[in-house]
Structures are given as C-alpha cells and as structure tokens.
Amino acid sequence: MSPFVEKAKVLRKYKINDGHFLGRGMEAEVYSYGKDKVFKLYNHMSSFKKQELLKRFYASIDSSAVSYAFPYVYDMYKEGDIVVTIEKRIQGGNMQRLLPKLSFDEMTAIMESSLDAQLEMRSVKLSPKFEGYQLFHDDPNHAEEKKDWHGFLKQYLLKKQNEVEKFLSKDVVNYKEKLTVLHTLLSSEYQGDYTLIHGDYYPGNLLIDGEGKITGLIDFGLMTMVGDYLFDVAIGWVLFDMYDELKANVLDRYLQIIVTTLGEEVREKLYFYVLLYSVFSANVYSRDCNDGHYQWCVRNLNNRIYWE
C-alpha cells in the first residue's frame, strides 16, 4: 500500500476530511478533532517510541504557575506504518505568520512578550523528572560522568565534534582554537539553577491570540533539556528572525530587550550559548552540512563579536 493510500485510509477511519486540516510541520499533519482536540498524523521523521516519550513528558509538566498552555497527548495509535496522536488543542495562531504584518512598536511588544513567556518557564516543574539532562538521547551512558550542566554540555560537544568537524574545520576560521576555548569554559563548575529548556524556542513554536498574548508553547523535542535557562533565552534571541527575513533589525533590538531586562552581565553567556548551539545543530537538517542552516551556524562561529 502506498503512503498516500495508507494515509487516506487512516483519515477515513477517524472520520477526518480536508475541511479539518489545520497545518503541516516537519513531522506531522494536524487536523481539528472535535472542539478541544487535534489529530496529528506523523511521517517517517517520527516514531511511536518518540511520541510515547513525549506523551509521558507532557504528562509530567506542572505548568500551573505559567500563563500559557503546554501540549498534552490524550491517546496515540500505530496504524500500519503511521503514528497518530490525539492531543489537546491550544487556542491561538502561529506567531511567525503574524510577524510580517506588525509595526515597529507592535514588533517590540511581541519580542517583550516572547521573552516574558520564556522567563516564565523557570516556574515549570516536572514530576517525574526525565533521566539525565536531555529528553531525547541515543547514548546508553548518557547519565554517567556528567556531574553538572557544564559536564553534560562538554560531553555533548565532544559527540557533535565527531559528526561535524570535517565540515566546520574547513569553514570556520581557527576552528580548533575556538573549540579549545569552548571546552575550557565548560571545564568550570556550573553555579546556576536548573530549569526546563525548550531548545527550539522561536515564533514558529509559539501561539498567540488577537491581543498579542502568548497562549501556548508547542513542539518540544530534540534539544529539550534541563539546565541553564539562559541557553533557551539565547536560542529564543537568535532564532526569532534568524535569516533576517523581516528586515527590521530584530537581532539587535531583541538583544537590547534581553540585557535591559536581565542585565548587561548576561550578554557574554548568551554569545557563548549561541556558539555552542551552532556546533550542536550544524548537521540537524543536513547530515552532510550542505544547507542554509549549516551556513547560518558557520556565520555565528565566524562572528568575532561572539568571541570577544
């Protein structure tokens, strides 16, 4: 049976038609399913095991102190080669689609709201907590020899080096010297608190209502971790308009909002986490590092300001 025919069969089984279609992401198609639920139909990029882990993770989140909603999976099924889930429907529209329509002042307000929502994540509790520092991992010894957040990042950096060094060593100026700097900084003991890190905090994963209020944060996954909240703040900053599509000087404006809110002393840490993220994610979308995201990572690693 072809994937198209199999998908059509699944949709008929659950009485879903084209009129229920809401949108499509990298891993799934989303359909409305009654008044308060959505039906997600996953492609080959996901698996039953992954969705099972996410189901347990979402159920562990205590977001009672947060002003917006998190995902929740009610049921999941394996229909042949297709994984489907039935999840809570979070009201609101995709923030990323709204941004091109905003005025300068409206954009500033949205950036402030985005940061405020991100800082609320520090109030989220997990019960039970997931094992180790990372929700998804493929290392059976992932919990060993990691005394703290810095130890985890250092081990993760070593792992990613093996995957991307042959590419980054050609494209990043003084690559080996820069890696030495990162390893040296990670050799110090981590002194901060541990909070939930989304890992892909950007407008495409934020839902917003007509008044500009953030209503939901979706799509936790590959980079979801527990550690320094500033890692997430750094990612939220550089991913807000990562390819400068809005032509609104967003990178500088958002950074100014962050340092005004949290203090000038966070700037160096934000730069540091952007550099780490650029190594970690260099081959996320292309194993051969031949896409636009890889080039974006290279530009970050060659940005002299981030190394000062």
119-157 pLDDT, tens per residue? 999 999 999 999 889 999 766 555 545 689 999 999 999
C-beta of residue 136 within 8 angstroms of C-beta of residue 27: no
The predicted model gives 39-57 an average pLDDT of 94
Percentage of the chain beyond pLDDT 70 is 97
Tokens of 269: 């840490």
> What is the structure's pLDDT at 271?
98
d(CA 243, CA 276): 18
Q: Which amino acid is at 85?
A: T
> What is the structure's pLDDT at 147?
82
217 against 43, higher pLDDT: 217
> What is the structure's pLDDT at 108?
96
Tokens of 200: 């892909």
> What is the structure's pLDDT at 138?
60
C-beta of residue 259 within 8 angstroms of C-beta of residue 282: no
What digits encode the pLDDT tens for the residues 277-289? 999 999 999 999 9
Read off the pLDDT band of 2 (50, 70, 90): confident
Q: Go through the domains of the chain in sequence order and give each one's CATH number.
A: 3-88 (3.30.200.20), 93-307 (3.90.1200.10)
> What is the structure's pLDDT at 288?
95
CA 21 to chain centroid, in Å, comes to 24
d(CA 174, CA 129): 39
Partners of 76 in beta bridges: 85
Q: Rounded mean pLDDT of the chain?
A: 94
The predicted model gives 43-55 an average pLDDT of 93
What digits encode the pLDDT tens for the residues 60-84? 999 999 999 999 999 999 999 999 9
What digits encode the pLDDT tens for the residues 220-252? 998 999 999 999 999 999 999 999 999 999 999
Buried b (16+ CB within 10 A) or exposed e, 18-36: eebeeeeeebbbbbebeee
